[in-house]
Structure formats: structure tokens, C-alpha cells
Structure 1
Amino acid sequence: MAKSSADDEELRRACEAAIEGTKQKIVMSIRVAKGRGMWGKSGKLGRNMAKPRVLALSTKAKGQRTKAFLRVLKYSTGGVLEPAKLYKLKHLSKVEVITNDPSGCTFTLGFDNLRGKSVAPPQWTMRNIDDRNRLLLCILNICKDVLGRLPKVVGIDVVEMALWAKENNPTVTTQRNQQDGPVAATVTESDLKVTVERELVSQAEEEDMEALLGTYVMGIGEAEAFSERLKRELLALEAANVHAILESEPMVDEVLQGLEAATNCVDDMDEWLSIFNVKLRHMREDIESIETRNNKLEMQSVNNKSLIEELDRLLERLRVPSEYAACLTGGSFDEARMLQNVEACEWLTGALRGLEVPNLDPIYANMRAVREKRAELEKLKTTFVRRASEFLRNYFASLVDFMISDKSYFSQRGQLKRPDHADLRYKCRTYARLLQHLKSLDKKCLGTLRKAYCSSLNLLLRREAREFANELRASTKASRNPSVWLEGSSGSGHGGHSDTSPVSDAYAKMLTIFIPLLVDESSFFAHFMCFEVPTLVSPGGVPNGNRSDDDTNDDDLGIMDIDENDSKADKNSADLATLNEALQELLNGIQEDFYAVVDWAYKIDPLRCISMHGITERYLSGQKADAAGFVRLLLGDLESRISMQFGRFVDEACHQIERNERNVRQMGVLSYIPRFATLATRMEQYIQGQSRDLVDQAYTKFVSIMFVTLEKIAQTDPKYADIFLLENYAAFQNSLYDLANVVPTLAKFYHQASEAYEQACTRHISMIIYYQFERLFQFARKIEDLMYTITPEEIPFQLGLSKMDLRKMLKSSLSGVDKSIAAMYKKLQKNLTSEELLPSLWDKCKKEFLDKYDSFAQLVAKVYPNETIPSVAEMRDLLASM
């Protein structure tokens, strides 16, 4: 017999590879052919043609249970097995062998979960009867052991299957690796894990069948004859049973009579039960109606109780205590009564808030009692706000009037008095909490209160600043310095300037006293008048030692805990704009006294603007708080006014420089050049802080005007222009040499003057050299011009450039060369007013002459190689001896 595909290990491994990852184990795999009912039917060949498939039985352990599956695998285009269908054996209900197939190798498997499918189930055809029996036997064993039941088997005898199983119990040889080596052992297939462990027919059933067969002495050649005999006996037994039933007819009649009587009793009982059911239904409806009425009454009782409690709470909320009503409508605002006023305000605020919708149930909002009580509270609020606002306006004015009437409070002749607002702020703090509550009651009332406070305090601050500034100027001892610094006509000079430092010290004292005061007033006003702005910081440029202990805590009003919901940290841009407008009204006008000090200092010494500018910048850099906006504006205006005054001084000085241009004849060094050095030296002494830019801009303007004026004066007499320029540029360098080493702006102009000096020297020296040796260097220039167009050998044949012309020119120019050089020295010395410049100019002149003569000697050697002229070395020695 050919080997079955169920024993093909390669096929089993291919199936295991196809289902890898599913955690299932292959029990059996066998090759089959799949068809669609081709036996006894006509159809298309391609559709009914059998297709090769592999059926595999697999199991999967899940806890203590085992699941069984039937897998259909097909061959892919590459000949590799891949899963096609998956059936669960628990749904297997029928195994039918097709009778149309004479070989008996075709069967179908019916699954109860596929009965609704319109497609006929596939037919599986095996290679032979053994393969069919082996597969079906394995399926039945798995169903019996794993599922505990057997499917319906049609077209095959179970007894025949059992006999076949007994005769064809396959054996499998396994290898066990022991210490002594591999040993072959023969086991049955039922012993392996790949099959079920028990046979289709048990041992007891098999013994019963053998006993039954032993009762027959006739010889049975085959199972089919035995099956026919059993069928005949079964028919005989059924006929005997029918005969016995017909003989017992009287007994059946008695049973039927008893059943009829019982039926009548049951009918009577059913009628009684229907009557009782109707009565019970009516009783149940009555009970439900009674329970509904009781529930409604109970709910009404609970609701009435809750309503009474809610009304009691509402009435308590609507009640106005008599002591608070009296305080709000007619109480006094004296300091002793402020605690009662604050308590009344707190109650009124809470009462108004309690009648608002978020805190009061919306259903109560439109009740008549609530609306009337809200109107009454609004009337109380209006009355109290009006009374408190009127009192505070009068109180602020009376405080300031009292302080202004006391002359000893301000600076007097011979005594500078620092403003002290500690007592004023102490009295104001008494009403700080009242202002907080007025804000929570009516924000609009704060506008008039802020205006009243600003207008009253503005009078006091302006009076303090005016008296302080007047006494500050009167007590400062400083002689006046003239503002004419660069006037060319003033020949006496300005070397003896007096010390004007008290002027800038006075300005610094004005800022030291009043800038912290104004910042503190701004901060106090912002907090006292309930502006929602960040806390102010002290100006960075003010030493802490200049502030008294009383002023360090002026901003702490002790009112931060009144309204917890009013966040002071949130910056409100609209509130900040309103605050800056109020500060403008509070401090406006005080800048005039600062301007007066600046103008006074400018008249005494214009250069003190530099010191004042640096002091102002230092204070301005320390103002960072938003609520001190007016103080920053004041400092910015002061800085602009100081810059304007200093610019005015610079413009006047520049005008003095330009006036030198009007003189008809200028000789020597102009007077404003050394005067500018003196001015720059003193300006550097006055620089403080960040005033460098101001001074550098003045330097730029001064020097630019000086150089422009110098060039214009030089153009009035071109003959002596270069001498005039080189002397003045040299004087500029000499006077600013030390300052240029430390001041970058002056260093830039120093290098600019140095370049102009060199250019003027070059032009003047060239003019002197050409004046004495004109024919010599004109002859050299002609040769240079021709060398661009013709060769050097052709030049001696040109008109005026022959060797004879060369000899004549040399005789006329170099016959008395020592006298000509002496004449150059005298001409250089003749118009020079600065004798100290003569040695350096004469050295430059000799060097320039030697360079030009060297070029001439090279031209002669190239064009007239056979002619002899005095050598360059002879000329150098001659010049050295002069």
C-alpha cells in the first residue's frame, strides 16, 4: 500500500509554518481534492474541476479547555502553503459520504453556523478509502474527546469504521535520546499527542457486540448480510409493539375519560382564577391611587417647610440693621467714628452683593420685596457716598490751607527747609479704608475726590518748590563767568575762571530733595486713591541716606486686605492712563521752579549745563515705576531744557568763531584755536555720568565751524593761504595733543588736522622749490610727458630737448645752486610767523628737493647717458652743509 500523505513530515512542517504565530498544534495534515458536486451533475469544466488542498486538524490549549479547528490550506503561486479557510469543530454537525461517488472517497462536512449560506458546501475527495477513514476517524475522536459529542454520520457504518480502526492501527517509530544513545521504540498512534487517546468504540461496547454476534450459530460471511438480518429483526419487533398497543384499547379509553374529567376541572379553575385576577387588579389600582395622594401630601409638606426656611433667610438678608442705617444716613466722619463707618460700609457692600444674581437665586431677583429692598440699599449707598465725598473734599482743602498758612513750614531767608509730609499723610491714612469702600460702592465718586486732592496738594507742592528754589539761589555764592569764550577780539584771555561748582551742587540738591518727594507723593496718591497699579520703586539715582525714616513707609497704607478680590498685581492700562492724568494735575506747575534753577545756573556758568545734564541723566535712569510717569516727564523736560541752554551757548560760541572771517587780513595763529583747547579742557572737567554725548556733539560742532572758518579766511589771500593753514593746523594739534589721547572725538579731529597740515606743507614747499628751480623741473616734466609716446633715444632730437638745450638749462639753474638753496630757506622763513615750525619745514623742503632732483638725474641718465650732471650725493652733501 502506498504511503499516506498523513505520514508526510514535510507536509506537516509546511502546515506548521503556514499557521506560525497562532499558538495552534497540528494533529493531522493530509492532501485532498476540493470539488463542487461534479458527481452526477453537468457543469463547466473549469468551475467543477477538482483543486488540490490540504486539510489540517489543529488544537489550541486555552486554560483547562482545548479548542479544535479544521484548517483548509491552499498552494500559492510559488508552491507555498497558505491558510484559506478555518472551521471550528464545535460547529461540526454532520459528516456525509457522497453516494454518487462509486469509490466512496468523497464526503462533505456540514457546520451548523454555515446553514444560511447559499453556496453549497465543498466536497472533499481522498486518494483512497484508507485516507478517508483515517481522516474521519481522527475528526470523530477529537469531537468525542475534546467536545464530548459526536456529529451525525451519514453514508458510512460506524461499526465498519471501528473494525477498520482495529485492523489499521498505525505505528510510529520515535527516537528517544538517552545516555546510552538513540533507541527505537514502537508506539501506537493513540499514544502520541498528535491524536486522541481513545478509540471510537469502547472496550465494553466491543464485548457486548461480540456476545451479540456469538448468539448466532449461522455463519456470517460479511458485515452487509449481518446488517440486513438486523434490519429484518427490527421490523419484526416494531410490528409486535404495534399489536400490543392495539390489544390495550380498553385501558386507553379509561385513561381518556380521566383526562377529560381533569380537563373540566382545569377549565373551572381557570374561570375562577380570571375572576380573582380582575378583583386583584382593581385592588392594586386603588392602592396605587392612595399611595400617589400620600406622596403628594408628603412632598407638599416638605416643600412648605423648605419654603418657610428659605423665606426666613431671605427676610434676614433683606433686613437693614438700625445702627447701620443711622450711621450711613447721618453719622459723623470724625476719626473716632471711622470704625463704625467702615463697618457700615462693609455691611452695605455685602448686602448689595448678596442681592445680585450670582449670589442670589435668579428666581428671587424680580420679586417685589427684593426689588424694593435693592432700591432702598441703593438710596442708602447714594446718600452715604455723597456725604463722604463732600466731607473728604473739604477735609483735603482744610489740611492744605492749614499747612500753607504756617510760614515756618517753608524755606525762609537763611534757612533751607526740607518739605515734610509725614503729618499730612498720617491724617490722610485715617480715611484710606473709607476710600476703599467708597470705590467698591461707587467708582464714579473717586473722580471728584481725586481732583479735589490733586488741586489742594498742588498748591502746597508748588509753594514748597518755589520757596526752596528761591532760597537755594539766594544762599549759593558763585561769581559769574562770561559766556564769551571764543571771541577773537578779547585778548586778555580766560585763564582765571572762578569756581562755579556750587551752582551744579545747588541743582543737585534741588533734585535730591524734590525728586524722591515727588515719587513718594505719586506712590502715595496711587495707593491712597485706589489705583490698581504696581507698587512704585525708589529712584535708583537717589542715595538712601537722603531719605528720612518717616518717608520710607509712606506708601504702606495698611489697606491691602480690604478687598481680596481686587487684585493689585494685575496691571490695568486704562487705570494707569487715568493715574498719569491725575498726577499731571497733582504736580503740574512745579517744573517752573526747576527751570528757574537751570536758567540761573546757565547765566552764572554755561558750562555747568554739562554737570547738570549728567546729574539729570542719573536720576532719570533710576525712574522705572509706571506710576511715576510725571517725574520721568519732568526729568526729561529738564534734560531737554539743559541741552537747549547748552546748545544756545554752543551756537553763540560758533557765532563768535564765524566773526573772525570778517577781518580783512589775518596772519599767524587765530585766537580761537588756543581758546578752544582751554574750553575743551574745562568741559572735560565738568563731565559727569552720561554727558559724554552732549560734549562730543559740542566738540563736533565747534571744530567743524573752526575748520570751515579757517579755510574761508585762507581763501581771502591765496598767496599766503598755505602758510596760514599749516600754522593754524599745527597750533590746533599742539594745543589738543594731551586731550586727543583720552577723548576719541578730539582724536578724530586731531588726525583730520594732521592730514590738512601735511597737505598745506606739501603745497607750500613745492611752490618754493619750483620758484627757485623752475627751468630745471620744467625740463624734466617735458621729458616725462614725451616718454609716454616715444622712446628715450628719440627725445634728444626733439625741439628744445637737445643736449645743447640740456647744457644751457643746467648752466642757468645749477651754476649758483648754493645761492638758490639759500634763497629757498629765506623765502620759507620770510612769511612764517611761528618760528618753531621752521626746522621741520626746512627738513621737509630739503627732502622734497632731493626726491625731485633724484628723479631728474634718473631721467638724464636714461635719455642723455653721455652727459654729466651733479650727482644726488653731491646735492645731499650740499644741503646738509647749509
Structure 2
Amino acid sequence: MAKSSADDEELRRACEAAIEGTKEKIVMSIRVAKSRGIWGKSGKLGRSHMAKPRVLAISTKSKGQGTKAFLRVLKYSTGGVVEATKLYKLKHLSKVDVLTNDPSGCTFLLGFDNLRSQSVAPPQWTMRNVDDRNRLLLFILNISKNVLGRLPKVVGIDVVEMALWAKENTPTITKQRGDLQDGPVAASVAEVDTKVTVERELVSQAEEEDMEALLGTYVMGIGEAEAFSERLKRELQALEAANVHAILESEPLIDEVLQGLESASNCVEDMDEWLGIFNLKLRHMREDIESIEVRNNKLEMQSVNNKSLIEELDKLLERLCIPSEYATSLTGGSFDEARMLQNIEACEWLTNALRSLEGPNLDRGYANMRAVREKRAELNKLKTTFVKRASEFLRNYFASLVDFMISDKSYFSQRGQLKRPDHADLRYKCRTYARLLQHLKSLDKNCLGQLRKAYCSSLNLLLRREAREFANELRASTKASRNPTVWLEGSTGSNQSVNSADTSTVSEAYAKMLTIFIPLLVDESSFFAHFMCFEVPALVPPGNLANGSKTGPNDDDNDDDLGILDIDDNDSKSGKRSADLEALNESLRDLLDGIQEDFYAVVDWAYKIDPLRCISMHGITERYISGQKADAAGFVRILLDDLESRISMQFTRFVEEACHQIERNERNVRQVGILSYIPRFATLATRMEQYIQGQSRDLVDQAYTKFVTVMFATLDKVAQTDQRYTDIMLLENYAAFQNSLYDLANVVSILAKFYHQASESYEQACTRFISTIIYSQFDRLFQFSHRIEDLMFTITPEEIPFQLGLSKMDLRKVVKSSLSGVDKSINAMYKRLQKNLTSEELLPSLWDKLKKEFLDKYDSFAQLVAKIYPNESIPSVSEMRDLLASM
């Protein structure tokens, strides 16, 4: 027999290459012919349906615990390469139909139940021989049984015939190299031997033996089917007769069984009656048990409730009980320092007791109980009594502390000795009662108002006394000669030295006043806010100055942290703080009001000695203002703002007086030369620049603006008193202003602005003055030139010589009268310039300006003559330049 294509290893590898990447394994591949025609009687294929070579391959794919089987159709492409065309799932294989009209029996159909188009005839597959057909169909049936658990319908072929063929051809079916590794199919393939047994998969051993016996009987003795049928009928009748006889013989046994069944039925009926009786008794017993359990549960619940009630009443009684030691402290105890611990404990107990009788700490059911109402009234009475006693004690205590300090003169500055205020002992004694104030606030917030006023009233007397004594001694111990306030008055000689005395001690005294008292007032404000239980944002660290230094060696002891916790931490503070801050500022006004008068006195005293010291004091004040940012120091910021305003007012007063002195110059008799306030302003500006500190630049710049504005306005008025000398007066004074402020203008921007303004005014005055001198000698010559220039706008240059007064003869007369003896005219201009100037240092520059201006005017005249009178000759511009250079 020829070798089957199912054993072709090359064909299997080609099929595996065609489905590479699908994770499927080829378990069998075989060549077939595909056609769609029908077989005729002659057994030949119709011409219109020619067979096409194809390859049918069985593939499997493992998925989880199961295995899927597929039938793939592959074709040969150009070049003989195998390509996959169609894929069928074997689970949908419903019928295998071997065509009976094919005499060879090698053509069959495979019917699938999931094909969409049932109208198209399924393809017919034709094998090379019957062995290949049987081999393929047996493999498909094995796969279907082992993998899918069912067999498709087989039509046109005898299964017994296929089984016999399989038994005879078992050795010829070899295991393929692509055997499955897992799944039900592997059970049908031997793991050791390479041969495949397919017979036992279709027919079992017992079935096979019965079939062989039946076939043997058929072969050995029976000739005709009718005789065989009659024989079978006779045997059947004999068997039925034997069965009936056996049944009749067993009648006594049947009667005995029936009697036993009747006896058992009677026993069952008796048992059913007994069970009914027992069931009734059990039902009654169950009802009795349920009733007992209900009563027991009620008793148990009542017991639990009584126990809980007793516990609640014990707790309530514990709340309502007032310890005798606390009652004694609250109603009549002493407030001495030794007894403060007992008083604080009593306050804490009273606070907690009141809170425990209020919701939500107390159940609403207890709130209206008579005992609770009476106890609440008793606690409120205790609270009122204690708050009244404590408030009265603290008011008297604050007053006594301050009275003791005021009566002792050693606390204050004395003659020849400046005393720094020291409140360390005062604060230490007050801290003893800080915790008491916290509890008073929690018991009755309204009582703090009177206590705050009493504290502010007492301490205000102490602070004002300290500030007054310190300011008086500070002024008395400061040595500084008084400088005159007449800075820019015209009667003072320009060379006279003024304000030479050193007044730095004045501003130092003011700085010392702020250095001592501003931190003290800030600390007092901060301490007061803490001590009197104001809820405000973080305060300035105690003892810090605006410049970051300490107030003294004992400042580490002045820590305002009272060492107490906020009792009302759980209260909502957002709304409280704004109200507390407003109340704090009002209290600080009561605490510190009046102390500003002593600061004003120092400012006024410093102004009288040296008004310019207002600049230094203004800068010192601004530094302190920038350092005060705490909300508790609100009054201190107001005080510093008031001091800054007063210093600015005093300095403005000085500026006004100085401006008045400048304006008095215009009422004097005719003045010549440089006005006295011009150089004196430079001296004043130099001194003011030395005093600038911090941010007082704006104050000084405003003063410069006021001074210079008045100076320039007064200069214009003075210059206008005599029109002949107006320009001379202006240019000399503007030049002096520039010369005196040259150095300062390089470093001070506002003075640089005025320097440029004076420079422009100086140039304008020079131009007017030089033009006046030139026209005094050459007026006729340049007037002739102006007439020509005016006519050139209306007529042509050729017509100008024919105009009246502009003929060539007129030109010759003007040139002769003006330029004959021109050296004498130029010399006269120099002498007039020298005669009118009082500042000889300006003469060289003005003479150079005059010669340049004259040459420019003469050059214009010469160009007009060359254009209008081309045949007329006049001295050339170069000759005139040489002449001027020789003068």
C-alpha cells in the first residue's frame, strides 16, 4: 500500500508554518481534493466542477483546563506554499455524510450547524483511497468524542465496518510528532508507544464479543430470515410461559408478605396516634416555657434598669455635692499669696460644676429636676459671691501697688540721675493673680471691665509720673547752645558763620527718650493684654526695640508669658478677637493717655534749640514706627504717628519762617550783586543733609522745593525793581546758586533738578544781556539786516535793493557808520560788560559768549549782503574774527 500523506512530515511542518502565531498545534494533516459538483451514474466528476487540491488539518489549542479542536482548510499558493484559507470549529460539526453515489466511497461531506448560508452546497472532499478516508474520519470521531464528549451523526458508512477496518489497520496509524501535551485527546495516544489505537474508542470489548457471537450465529446456521424470525418468536413465548408458572408457584410467599405488611400498617397507625398525643403535650410545655421566659426577661430588664438608675443618681448626687473646703474658699477665704492655690482649685471646681449642670453635659431630662434647679441656683450664688470678693480685692491691690511705688522717690529720675523705669517687681506681683483673672473671666466676663479700668487708672498715674520726671531730667542734663532760627535773613552777611554749634545732643536726648519709653510702653501693652485675658493675635516679644536691642540687662526677667493656658480654647475665636481687639485699644488708651505730653515737650524743647534737629528726630521716629506691628501696641503706634506729625509741623513752621525771611528781601532798598540767601541756602542744605536719617528724605525734599521756589520767585521780583539791571541780577544770582550747590546736586536728585532749572534761567539771562550790549553799539547795522530778512518773505532778492531805505547807497552809509572804527565799538562793549558785572569771575565766560554771538550775527549779515548786493564789499567774517581775537 502506498504511503499516506498523513505521515508526511514536510506537509505537517508546512501547515504549522501557515498557522504560526495562533498558538495552535497540528495533530494531523492530509491531502484532499475539493469540489462542489455531483457524481453521475457513471461515477465521473462533472466538467463544470473540477476538483482543486487542498490540505485538511486537525489542530488543537489549550485554554485553561480544556482543549479546543479546529478543522483548517489550506490551499497551495503560487510557488507551492501552503496558506490557511478557512477555519471550522469541531464543536459545531453535526454530520459526516459519505456520498453513496460515489462508487469508490472516497467522497464525503462535513456538515456544520453554524454555517450562515445553508443554501450553498457544502464542499465535497475526495480522498485518494478508502484507507485515507477511514483514517481521517476515525481521527475526527476520536477527537469529537474525547474533546467534545459527543459524536456527530454518521451517514452512508457502517460503524461496525469502520471498527473492523481500524482493528486491521491499527499498526499503520502512527503517532504524529505534534501530539498534544494536555487535555482529553492525550488519553487516546500512547505516551511510550508511537502507535495509535482507535478501535477501543468506538466499540468496547464486551460489545465486540456480542457482535462476533451474533455474526457467528448468523453465518453458521440460519439460511432464511423468516425461519430465523419464527424461531425467535417461539423462544419468546416459551420464556413468557416459564415466567407465568414461576409467578403462580410463589403465591404462599406473597400471602405471607401481605400479612406482614398489614401488621406493620397497624403498628404505624398506633405510632401515629402516640406521636399526636406527645406533640400536644410538647406544645403546651413550649407555651409554658415561653411564658416563663417572658416574665424572666422582664425581671432581668427591671433589674438592669434599677442598677443603671442607681448609678445615674449616684453620679448626679456627686455633681450636686459641694465640698466643704471649696465652699469655705469661695465664700470667705483669704486672697493672700499663700492661699491662692486653694482659691484656684476652688475656682476650677466651681467652673466644672457649673458646666456639668448645663447642656450638653447634662441630660435634658435632668435639667428640670427640682434638685438640679436648686443646686444650680446655689452654685450661681457662690459664683456671684466669689467674683464680687475677688474683684474688690484686685481693685484695691492694684491701687496699693502703684501708691507704694509713687510714694518712693527712688523709683523716678532725680536731679543729676536719669532713672530707667523698672516694672519687674510690679509684674511679678501681678502674675500671682493671673490665673485668678482667667477663672474670673470664665465665671463672669462682665467683671473684667471694672478690673481693667482699675488697673489702667492706677498704672497710668505711675507711667505719667515716670515719663514726666525722666523728660524733665533729660532736658536739664542735656547741654546744647541754642542756634538762631534766622537762617536766610538778608541782614546777615554772606560770609558770617552761623549755626556752628554742635546740637547733636538734642536729637540724642530725643532718641534716648524713645529708646527708654517706647519698649516700656509696648511691654506694658503686651503684659496688659495677656494679664487681662484679651484674646488677640501674637504680640511683640517683650523688650525688643525698633532697632532690635534690649531695654536693659534685666529684660530676660520681663517675659510676659504668664505661664497659663487658655481656659476658653474650645470657644470660637474668630468673632471674639475683633471685639476683644477693639476693647483692648480702648483700655490701652486709658492706660497710656496723657504720656504723650512729655514726648511733645521734648520735641518742642529740641526745636527751640535747633530747628534742623527735627530732621533727625523725624528719621528716628520713622524707624520706631516701622518696628511696631503688634495689635497690642496700637496706642504706641498712635503715639509715634502723633510725634511724627508734631515734628513735621515744627519743621514746617521753621521752613515757613525761613521762607518769610527770604521774601523780606524784595522789600529792601535796591539790591545789587548776589543776594545773601543764595550762598546761605547752600550752607543750610549741607547741614540738612547731615541730619537726614532713615526715611526723612521726603521731609527734606519738600523743604528744598519750598525754599527754592520762594528763592527764585523773590529773585525775579528783586530783579524787576530796576529794568536796566534785571538780566545782570538774574545771571549773577543763578550762577552763584549753581556754584554753591554743585557738589550737593551731584548726590541729591531734587537739588540736581533745581540746579538744571537755574542753569536754564542763567543761559536765558546771559542771552538777553549780551544782545542788549551788542545792539547798543551795532543797532543800526543789525536793524538793516532784520529789514532785509523780513522783506525776503514777500519779494525776491533782486527787488530788495530798489526798496526805500535798502538801496546800495543806504547799505554803504550803514556800513560806514557802524564798521568804521569797529575796534573802538568792540572795546566799548567790553568796558560796558565789565562795568555792569559785580562778579568778576563771570567776565571771561560772558566776554567769550558776547564775541561768539556778535560773530554769528555778523556772519548772517555778510551772507545777506553777498546775496542781495553781490558787487558791494564789506569787511569779511574772517577779518572780524581776527579783530575780536586780538582784543
Match of 1:768 among 765, 773, 793: 773
3-state DSSP of counterpart to 2:600: helix
Which residue is equivalent to 1:879?
Answer: 884
CA deviation profile, 1:659-689 (whole Å, cap 9, x unmatched): 3334464432222212212221221222223
Please say if residues 108 and 122 of structure 1, whose CA atoms lie closer than 8 Å, have aligned partners that are also in contact: no
> C-alpha separation between the residues in 1 aligned to 2:801 and 2:63?
126
Please say if residues 173 and 196 of structure 2, whose CA atoms lie closer than 8 Å, have aligned partners that are also in contact: no
CA deviation profile, 1:499-554 (whole Å, cap 9, x unmatched): 33332222222212211211111111111112233142244435645424057424
Matching of residues 164-203 of structure 1 within 5 Å? 198=198, 200-201=201-202
Match of 1:849 among 846, 854, 857: 854
Which residue is equivalent to 2:430?
Answer: 428
**Paired residue type of 2:540:** L
> C-alpha separation between the residues in 2 aligned to 1:214 and 1:640?
139
> C-alpha separation between the residues in 2 aligned to 1:220 and 1:765?
171
Which residue is equivalent to 2:705?
Answer: 700
Matching of residues 375-386 of structure 1 within 5 Å? 375-386=377-388
Please say if residues 355 and 370 of structure 1, whose CA atoms lie closer than 8 Å, have aligned partners that are also in contact: yes
CA deviation profile, 1:330-377 (whole Å, cap 9, x unmatched): 111122211111111122223333344454556555544444333332
For the aligned residue pairs, the C-alpha RMSD in angstroms reads 4.8
Matching of residues 38-187 of structure 1 within 5 Å? 58-62=60-64, 66-69=65-68, 127=124, 141-142=142-143, 144-146=145-147, 150=150, 158-159=159-160, 162=163
3-state DSSP of counterpart to 1:878: helix
Please say if residues 26 and 57 of structure 2, whose CA atoms lie closer than 8 Å, have aligned partners that are also in contact: no
> C-alpha separation between the residues in 2 aligned to 1:698 and 1:60?
102
Q: Confirm whether residue 536 of structure 1 aligns to residue 540 of structure 2.
A: yes
Flag the 1:568–1:175 CA change in 2: closer, same or farther, 3 A: closer
Which residue is equivalent to 2:219?
Answer: 218
Q: Confirm whether residue 301 of structure 1 aligns to residue 303 of structure 2.
A: yes
Matching of residues 623-662 of structure 1 within 5 Å? 623-662=628-667
**CA shift at 1:72, angstroms?**
11
* TM-score, length of structure 2 as denominator length: 0.80
Matching of residues 367-446 of structure 1 within 5 Å? 367-446=369-448
Flag the 1:27–1:586 CA change in 2: closer, same or farther, 3 A: farther
Match of 1:447 among 431, 446, 449: 449
Which residue is equivalent to 2:510?
Answer: 507
CA deviation profile, 1:461-503 (whole Å, cap 9, x unmatched): 1222223223333343333333232222445856254333332
CA deviation profile, 1:78-126 (whole Å, cap 9, x unmatched): x998999997x9xx9xx6789999999586769xxxxxxxx99999956
Match of 1:594 among 599, 603, 623: 599
**CA shift at 1:838, angstroms?**
1.6
Q: Confirm whether residue 729 of structure 1 aligns to residue 727 of structure 2.
A: no
> C-alpha separation between the residues in 1 aligned to 2:87 and 2:853?
110
CA deviation profile, 1:181-230 (whole Å, cap 9, x unmatched): xxxxxxx996899x998553257357525632552252899xxx99x999
Identity %: 71
**CA shift at 1:696, angstroms?**
1.4
Which residue is equivalent to 2:714?
Answer: 709
Please say if residues 109 and 121 of structure 1, whose CA atoms lie closer than 8 Å, have aligned partners that are also in contact: no
Please say if residues 107 and 123 of structure 1, whose CA atoms lie closer than 8 Å, have aligned partners that are also in contact: no
**CA shift at 1:431, angstroms?**
0.8
Which residue is equivalent to 2:683?
Answer: 678
Which residue is equivalent to 2:245?
Answer: 247
Please say if residues 507 and 597 of structure 1, whose CA atoms lie closer than 8 Å, have aligned partners that are also in contact: yes
Match of 1:486 among 479, 485, 488: 488
**CA shift at 1:635, angstroms?**
0.7
Matching of residues 519-534 of structure 1 within 5 Å? 519-533=522-536, 534=538
Q: Confirm whether residue 779 of structure 1 aligns to residue 784 of structure 2.
A: yes
> C-alpha separation between the residues in 1 aligned to 2:258 and 2:283?
37
Flag the 1:800–1:701 CA change in 2: closer, same or farther, 3 A: same
Name the count of aligned residue pairs. 824
> C-alpha separation between the residues in 2 aligned to 1:231 and 1:196?
41
Which residue is equivalent to 2:43?
Answer: none
> C-alpha separation between the residues in 2 aligned to 1:28 and 1:618?
103
Matching of residues 504-583 of structure 1 within 5 Å? 504-533=507-536, 534-537=538-541, 538-541=543-546, 544=549, 546-549=551-554, 552-560=557-565, 572-583=577-588
> C-alpha separation between the residues in 2 aligned to 1:237 and 1:459?
147
Match of 1:329 among 328, 331, 353: 331
> C-alpha separation between the residues in 1 aligned to 2:136 and 2:142?
10
**Paired residue type of 2:508:** D
3-state DSSP of counterpart to 2:672: coil
**CA shift at 1:616, angstroms?**
1.0
> C-alpha separation between the residues in 2 aligned to 1:99 and 1:835?
145
Which residue is equivalent to 2:279?
Answer: 277
> C-alpha separation between the residues in 1 aligned to 2:798 and 2:457?
102
> C-alpha separation between the residues in 1 aligned to 2:228 and 2:354?
108
> C-alpha separation between the residues in 2 aligned to 1:316 and 1:330?
23
> C-alpha separation between the residues in 2 aligned to 1:758 and 1:82?
110
3-state DSSP of counterpart to 1:769: helix
> C-alpha separation between the residues in 2 aligned to 1:426 and 1:270?
102
**Paired residue type of 1:647:** T
> C-alpha separation between the residues in 1 aligned to 2:831 and 2:162?
153
**Paired residue type of 1:388:** A
3-state DSSP of counterpart to 2:533: coil
* TM-score, length of structure 1 as denominator length: 0.80
**CA shift at 1:817, angstroms?**
0.5
Which residue is equivalent to 2:105?
Answer: none
Please say if residues 544 and 551 of structure 2, whose CA atoms lie closer than 8 Å, have aligned partners that are also in contact: no
**CA shift at 1:753, angstroms?**
0.9
**Paired residue type of 1:211:** E
Flag the 1:83–1:600 CA change in 2: closer, same or farther, 3 A: farther
Please say if residues 410 and 419 of structure 1, whose CA atoms lie closer than 8 Å, have aligned partners that are also in contact: yes
**Paired residue type of 1:247:** H
**CA shift at 1:434, angstroms?**
0.9
> C-alpha separation between the residues in 2 aligned to 1:625 and 1:478?
36
Please say if residues 357 and 376 of structure 2, whose CA atoms lie closer than 8 Å, have aligned partners that are also in contact: yes
Q: Confirm whether residue 838 of structure 1 aligns to residue 843 of structure 2.
A: yes
> C-alpha separation between the residues in 1 aligned to 2:551 and 2:73?
103
**Paired residue type of 2:699:** L
> C-alpha separation between the residues in 2 aligned to 1:856 and 1:566?
97
3-state DSSP of counterpart to 2:201: coil
3-state DSSP of counterpart to 1:773: helix
Point out where structure 1 has 5 or more consecutive residues left out of the alignment. Answer: 34-53, 111-118, 177-187
> C-alpha separation between the residues in 2 aligned to 1:86 and 1:572?
86
Which stretch of structure 1 is more off in the superposition, 391-400 or 825-834?
825-834
Please say if residues 387 and 440 of structure 2, whose CA atoms lie closer than 8 Å, have aligned partners that are also in contact: yes
3-state DSSP of counterpart to 2:62: strand
Matching of residues 742-753 of structure 1 within 5 Å? 742-753=747-758
Which residue is equivalent to 1:622?
Answer: 627
Q: Confirm whether residue 457 of structure 1 aligns to residue 459 of structure 2.
A: yes
**CA shift at 1:878, angstroms?**
1.5
Flag the 1:809–1:201 CA change in 2: closer, same or farther, 3 A: same
> C-alpha separation between the residues in 2 aligned to 1:270 and 1:101?
71
> C-alpha separation between the residues in 2 aligned to 1:202 and 1:391?
120
Flag the 1:878–1:565 CA change in 2: closer, same or farther, 3 A: same
Point out where structure 2 has 5 or more consecutive residues left out of the alignment. Answer: 35-55, 75-82, 103-107, 179-186
Flag the 1:857–1:307 CA change in 2: closer, same or farther, 3 A: same
